[in-house]
Structures are given as C-alpha cells and as structure tokens.
Structure 1
Amino acid sequence: MKLIKSVIASILCLCLAQAFPVLAVSEQDTIEEEIICPDSNPLNCYPKNFIPTEDWQIVKQGQVIPPGLEVKLDLENMNREARLIKDQGNQLNKKRNHDIIISNGDPNFQNSLENIKELVKSESINNRLRFDKIIEDLDVLVDWSSDLETGAIIAQNIQPLLKLSGLYHTKNTQHNNFGFTEAQYIKVQEMIYRILASSFRNNIEAQEILLNFLNEPDLFLVHLVSGDEKENDVVIKRKLGLLGSLLNNGLFTDYFQKGEIDKELIILYPKVESKDIKLRIMTILDDIKLVRRDERDEDDQDDVNLDKEYAIIVQNTLVKSSLNDDPQSREMLISLSELKKKDKLSFRADNKFLDWMDRQITKQRENVNELRKRDVGEDHVLTTEHGYLNELITLRHEVFGNPLGSRKEYIDEL
C-alpha cells in the first residue's frame, strides 16, 4: 500500500512540475505545497500559491497571488492573469484596450474588481450575504473612482460594470438583473453610475478608453437618456450625471450630435417630476451650448424659470426642423404642448415659433389634399393624416395662440 501511494505521489509531482515550472530551486521546493484539485483527475490539480514568470499566466480559481506582480483582467475571456513586473516605463504603452493592468495596486481595489467580474460571470446572486458583499465592493470602487489612474483602470474594466448596470446590450444578450430584488438592483445601478461618472469626469484617458471600447458611442449616449419610463428618479439622475461627465474634453461631441442627445433630453424633460432632474437636464443642455449661461438667472432656479428656459430651447430647436421629416420633432412638439396645457402662464409662444407652426399646418394640409387627389382607396391613411392636421390646428391656436383663430382654420378644411 505504501508503495502504491509513493508511486501516485511521484506521478502527481511530475505532472505539476511539467505544468508549473519554477524559476529556481530552493529549500522551500522540498516542502510539501498545498494544491487545488477542481475534479477527480489528478492532471487538473495545480498549486494554491501562484508561481509567477515573466510571461502572462492565467490565475486559476482559488490561487493566491503574491504581492508585487502585474495583474490584469482580460475582458475578452474574463480571465485574470499575472506576471512579474517588467520595465514599468513601457508597460502602460504596451497594454491592450481590453486589459486592466494594476502594478502594486491596492489589494482591496483589485479584489473588488475581481469579485464584480465573478458575479457578472456567474450571472446570478443567491442570498443577502452576496448582495452585501457586492455593495461593499462597489463602495470600494466609489472611493477610488475619482483618482485619474484608477479611473482609467475602471474604464478598462468597463464591460462587467456595464453588464451589471444594464447598460451593456448586444444582439445576443438580454437584460439580466442577476437575481436582485428591485430595491437591491436600484442600489447597484445607482452606485455603478456614480462610479462611472466619477471615473470619466475630467479624465481624458478614461474617456479615450471608453470611446475605443464602444462600437456605437452615440447609441450608448442615447441609452443614458431614453431609459425605462418607470425608471427610479435616483437612477435617472445618476445616468444623467454619467452623461454630463462625458461632455468635457470634446471627445464625445460628435456623438452627442449624431445621437441628437439634445432632442432626447427635451423629450425626457416633461416626463419627470423631480426639480433636481429637470435642473440637471437644463444644465446638460446648457453645456451642449443650446442656451448661454449669461441668460440664466443663477439665483432663482425655481420650477417656473426652468420651464421657461426649457420652452425657449424647444421652440428654438423646432423652428429648425420639419414635422414631416423628423419624428423626434413631433415628440418635442407634444412635450412643449403638455407643458403649456399644464400651466398656461408657464411661457409665451415666440412669434418665430408660431410662424413655424403655420408653415407646418400648410405642409400638412398639402399632404392631405394630395392624398385626396390620388384616391387610392387607403381611407385609413387619409383619416390619419387629416386627424394630425386637425391636431396641429388645435395646438397652434388653442394651446399656443388665440383659440378664436382656429375657427377660420377649420372652416378652410370644409
């Protein structure tokens, strides 16, 4: 029996020696080392203590990494790798966009990133204890996110954070709340948006990393504005905070324009009740240069003034558009009308805007007349377009102008 055990031990040591070569032989090599065996196959066993070399090696589950190594998370396959530190002057220039490299980093910071990656990889959370732990890990990232260097590292580790927050969507993935309750998930989302906003604010390196990671940056920005209508106010506010943090340095300027984020914000404004959220929307529109700061009364930011400023922005945006060619313009017009219906004294329609409304009514009347001439039998199309014409007439006169003026418009339709 002793002979059999000795033979098995020799075979196992030989396998481990081939799989995990040591750097040098020392007295410690003769000491029996703790090993990890994930299954019944002895060939799959490996040392608990990670043995570094100058090349990147995958850190297997349960292995302990000695201090002073370079550690990275490869976001393509979600593996953690480590190696001995090489020339520190060149290491940052050689890193890949999908890698996270931490040299002599804070162990709590590294462990928190790893724990979040493992949660995303498992795609589920089973108990309150694990929820408390992920909140603890996110809290560590909150503390580190305002630092420029660690902010860039967080940007390199963006994929698991986006997945956990619900911001990461592809054609082959669906939204996953990871088994959180609604209240728990709101807390997780709120913390992640805080982390990301702090990481990208005034951090051009982090923004460059994010820009290289995103396939369609404009759609990412749109998703920060056009979320679920039932979304919690805290989450909406944090998402807008993340959106605002990407405005500086000019890296995302073209994508703000391409995604027409100004129009998305205009559409969002009347859907929220919170004054803080409305103020944040107006601040972002301000930063997009839709309104000059010297036109704003900094000492008086009550709801009425915000609504007046909002109405000015919407009217100035609409007069440059066409209701027939731009579906967003129709939504903005409805948003503006809802504000006016709610409070007739909230703002006074600008003459340029009223002239624009007259032109839109004329174009819509021409569309209706053209459909009548065709007489192609599509009565539902004619009914729909005629109904929209009447809606525009109502908005022009009864909402934005003189209610008596609508009489002549309707007579012209008879």
Structure 2
Amino acid sequence: MGVLAMFNRLQINIFLGIILLAVSIYSLVIPHKQNSLICSDIDPKDCYPKSFVPTDQWQVVREGQEVPAGLDFSIDLEKGIKLAKLIEPEVHQTSSVNIKDTSEDTAAALKEAIKEAPKKVVSNYDSEDVEEDSDITALKMAVQGAETQIDVKDALVYITSTDQSDEVLKSSLDSLTDHSHNLKDGVLISQPQYFDRLVELATDKKHSIMVQEMSSRVIAQSLRHNPKALENVQITQVLPKFLAVLQDEDNSVLQKRILGVISSLVQSEVNVAIFKNFKGESILLDNFSKFKEDSKIRALEILEDVKKYNGLQKRSNEDDLLNSKIFKTIQDSLSNNEISDDHNLEKLFDKAVELKSENKHYKTDSQFLQWLSKQVEDRKLNKRDSDYNDELHKKLLEARHVVFGNPNALRKAFVDEL
C-alpha cells in the first residue's frame, strides 16, 4: 500500500509539473509576438518595450507594459515600483502539490492540490472565484498569478502622508487612476481629506511633472459624469487654483490635464456661473495662442459646454458675445499658423465656418483671408503628396467663397482646380 501511494504521488508530481511548465512557456512566449515601444508623454526619449521581458532577476515593470503570466510579482512600497521575475523551480515544486499519504485516486488528489495551490502561489487571489469543476483552469490561474495593485483606500492613505517619496506617490496615483473611473470610488476620492491633497499635488510646482499630471488625471476622472462626487468639491476653492496654474503652464501634457479638470468641474449651471465669475471664459481665450494644439481643442469644448448651461433668458446675448470672441480667437490662431496637424486644423476651421454661417455680421479679418487663400493654393500644388488631404482642400476652397467670400466665384474656382 505504501509503494502504491508513493507511485501515485510521483505520477501526480510529474503530471502537475508538466502542466506548470506548459502554462509558463505558453504565457511567456505568446506576448512577444508584438513588442512595440512605449514612450513617455512627458519625456519622449524615455522609451521601453511594450512587452515586459522577464529574467530570473527582479526587474521594474514600467507603466503600460504587458506582463506575461506565470511570474513572481512584488511591489516596493518605499519606492512605489512593481517588480517581476521568472518563478524559480523550487516555487513550482512547492506550490504545485503537497499530498499526504492517501489511497485516494489521482483525480481526487489533483483536486485537493488545486484547492491549495492558489493560497501558496498568489496571496491576493481569491480561489472562490474559480468554478469547482474547472480543475485545469483553476490550476492555470493559480500558477499565472496576478499583478499586485494597491487598494484604493491604501493608495489614498499613501498620498495623504506627506513624507512619501515621489515613487510611492506615482505608484499610489497609478492605482487611483485605475479606480477613478468607478463612480463609487470617485465619490470616495472626492472626500475633502483626500481631494484637497490631490489638488495640492496637481497644482504645486514643487512636485514632479508626472505627479502633477497623474493627480490631475485622477481628479478629472473621478468627477466626470459623477454628480455625487462633484457635490463633495468646494468649487469656489478648487477652480481658481486650476485657472491660475493654467495661465503659467507651458507643458503640453499638463495643459491638457488641467483643462480636463476644469471641464469636469463645469457640469452644472451653478458651476458655470462660478466659472464665469472667476473670468474662466476670458482666461481660456486670452491664453488660447499659447495652448498646444490638443489643448486648444479642449478649451473650445469647455466653452461649448459653458454655452449649454447658460440660462435661457441670457442665452442669446451672452452666446453672441462669446461666439464673437471665439470666432476672432480662431481666426488669429489659424492665420498665425499655430496649427500644424490637419485634424486639429479642420476642427478649428469647421468651428469658424459654423460661427460665421450663423452670424453673418461677424467680421472676417484680412489676415485670416490671406491665410485661407494661401492654404487653398498650397494644397492645390501639393496634390501629389502622399499625405495630401483632398477632403480638407475642398472644404477650404468651398468655404473661401461661400462662407468668407463671393459664392458666385465658387464654380470658377472648381474649374481652375481641374
């Protein structure tokens, strides 16, 4: 009987060892088929492979990297970094099977091993999530493990501790970024004891650009389309801070994130009124020329949202005045060649066409007309270029005559294009 038990244990060890090896090899090899690079928005020179390549040594897992399953994971809370490496052979052996002397058949022993494996391999994995009938699936899940992530409440505690290192802040903010889309977590994040700290991290220049960027992103995501979270925010204290830092910000990423926060705050008639009291419209328009291209588009979207919340009795007069200023700002931006990307150029131009079509009395600047004529002529000469945008060319040509000039000259203009 003892020999039979030893033979059964040997069979089980070999069987599970083969499964573990196959799962590890499969999960490690497949992700490397596409190994493109990830480059930081803040530092374009900081690039690294999209797929994490494990070794038998602990390595830092960078933001956005795809991590293969079947690895050991760890997190350094002092530095706020995630680490991973290949599972050592001893781990496979000890985590796969630990069977007592028994006369049960192989299947029963395997089921018991699977039941225990998750507890030994992955401490934060809940074995109750696995269906009892899916033996092989359960074993695979236990072997693969899971990437360690800081709990939302722990992350909030970490960021409120002022003696935390920059790396711990980044790791905590990274976890909050994942949680902030959730409405319930958004309400928690918006609690004053946490939210005030996030605002300080986002607006105080003593913090790194990455910490400011991540904090702004968490704020915007937790408030957007989340009325309960927005109710927790003292907008009269928060909004002026972001409007102030926006005026002095030159970093393209931070500009966009700050505007994202402002956009998430301006979601009600009351908040729009506060935005106007703090000269929000003027700040966006006055700083429009220094905004990077994506931020220009975001600023226009905010101004459109503001108009939606204008009171009906005020809408016609206030909208007309605001639209007139927007039209002038767009003309200046285009004629000064502040836009190089065709997609962004088309968005701004479409808005100018819309405003002029609805308000014929708006003045068209001569400098803008010169820019428009040059755009049409230059694009006509560049028709053979690989990046030639025929649709935008036709749109510029048509608007040049129909919207901003003489509609009767359009037919001749199309003939000249042939």
The alignment's TM-score, normalised by the length of structure 1, stands at 0.40
The alignment's TM-score, normalised by the length of structure 2, stands at 0.39
